[in-house]
Chains A and B, each alone.
Chain A
Amino acid sequence: MGRSNLHGLSVRELGLLIEKREVSPVEVVEAHLKRIEALEPRLSSFITLVADQAMERALQCEKEIMAGQYRGPLHGIPFGLKDLYYVKGIRNTCGTRIFDQFVPDFDSTVARRLLEAGAILMGKLNLHPLAYGPTGENPDYGDMHNPWSPDRITGGSSGGSASAVASGECAFAMGTDTGGSVRIPSALCGLVGLKPTYGLVSRYGITVLSWSQDHAGPMTRTVEDCALVMNAIAGHDPHDPASAVTRVPDYTKALTGKVKGTRIGLVKEFFEAPLDPTIGSLVRKAISVFEKLGAQVTEISWPMFEYSAAIAGIIQMAEATAYHRDLVKKHGKELMPMVRLRLECGFFVSAVDYVQALRARTLFYQQSMRLFDGVDFLCTPSVPIPACPIGTTEVDIAGKRLGIIAALTQYTRPFNLNGFPAISLPCGFTHEGLPVGLQFAGKPFDEEGVLRAAYAFEQATPWHERRPSL
């Protein structure tokens, strides 16, 4: 691989070159800045680019490495943060001009951990305003564009994170996921996106959408990269009241490629829900790959799946409006119209509705745990449709008309509600060349198992090797 292609390398590949001093972090950052300069007019991945800071930091990393102070596999690696992760001294817009001049005076825990690991921040990435929408459209900072077909959505809300990584503007990025906002854009842009178990990765310093359903997660081009980022960001944080006290392993050690004897559950209700036939076919082919690798595949039932959107929706509306109540009252007219409507609608969710939804969530959680009595993982499509044209508000899926929000989130939302880990990774392409995602979900805190299964599939298939022709 020539040095002109540094933007096309994975985190692991770049890290090895940097560790062996075959490539300098300065060269790596320069290559990514060139990529950003060339592609940003078409993609709108970034809200704030910090090119000068990135170059300064690259020089510092180079000095450290030359002095024998190599910090590990993220040292010198360029990354981006969805623009709701606080970074001291860099504005945090949350995707709306209302916060155009807001500059935090402290780092989010995730940002701090990545910077301490030696990663180099390239900038803050575009998102659906306030992270309240799954398409990746933004009237204030420009719609995000899918690198595989720029007239189509990236998915959201972490759309800028997805387009930046898929296009080679960053080696990896962080997103957040309240109803699928890491996994949906990862699926639509051909990436690996992990929503970790609730409590495993700190939410401290990340703008809230729904306290009890917000998750921070990495978006990468390979499963191994995802494991490397998790090694840096997972673990207890006393600043986050929901942070779990749990052992954090070296996630890369789980990547054995072996799934023989693993029990995989196919939730029949997921396949009875509206599903594009091409995606259904690709997911079934993916499942057959697991069978060839020695996994046992069983059909199971999740009766409460049909309630998940309503339960999660009530909780999200109440929590989002509680958090943003002053904002929507003072600045409602400045918000993206659908974001404004969703926030205002939360005022009409009663306290009784909210508590009933929390009670229903208890049942949902209990039933979710029982699913794993007979299987180790659940395997599902990530999203029921491929990326649709920007501006789409409704879609027709196998003869059923659905709003775009309900359609995009139908498979991801259940795992925000129960908090279980879930990953999306590429499992093929449509005839139009659009990526399709496969979702794996596991028991709470079994990220190792989820990554192991995802890695085994990735190594048995060629999908992660494709790049968009930009």
Chain B
Amino acid sequence: MISKEIFLSIAEASGLDVKDPHMEELFGFVTKVLPSLRVIDRLDLADVEPLPTFIPQKE
């Protein structure tokens, strides 16, 4: 769960206008969406490398 303080810090570093009232809506969205993606933390990725260029192979 991202704190409001960290949220605002990242938002500012990303170039978003942290004084915009819209930040409240974005904070609600981010705190709802990002935790739902944490499901991938359950995967065992030991010894798994990212595909540097993703192109499916024919065989």
Contact = CB atoms under 8 A, between A and B. Distances in A.
Interface of A: 197-199, 212, 241-242, 244, 246, 306-307, 310-311, 313-314, 325, 329, 332-333, 341, 344-345, 347-349, 353, 355-363, 365, 418-420, 444-445
Nearest to B51: A362
B10 A359 contact: no
Interface in B14-59: 14-16, 22, 25-26, 29-30, 33-34, 36-41, 43, 45, 48-51, 53-58
A197 B56 CA distance: 8
Contacts of B16: 329, 332, 344, 347
B43 A363 contact: yes
Given A242-B53, A344-B16, A360-B43, 9 more contacts: A246-B58, A314-B40, A325-B15, A333-B22, A355-B50, A356-B40, A359-B45, A360-B40, A419-B56
Contacts of B53: 241-242
A358 B33 contact: no
Q: Which of B15, B16, B22, B55 has the most CB of A within 10 A?
A: B55
Contacts, number: 96
B40 A444 contact: no
Interface residues of B, number: 32
B1 to A, nearest CB: 12
Nearest to B7: A348
Contacts of A359: 45, 48-50
Contacts of B34: 345, 348-349
A357 B41 CA distance: 9
A363 B50 CA distance: 9
Contact of B51 (A332, A348, A365): A365
Contacts of A360: 40, 43, 45, 48
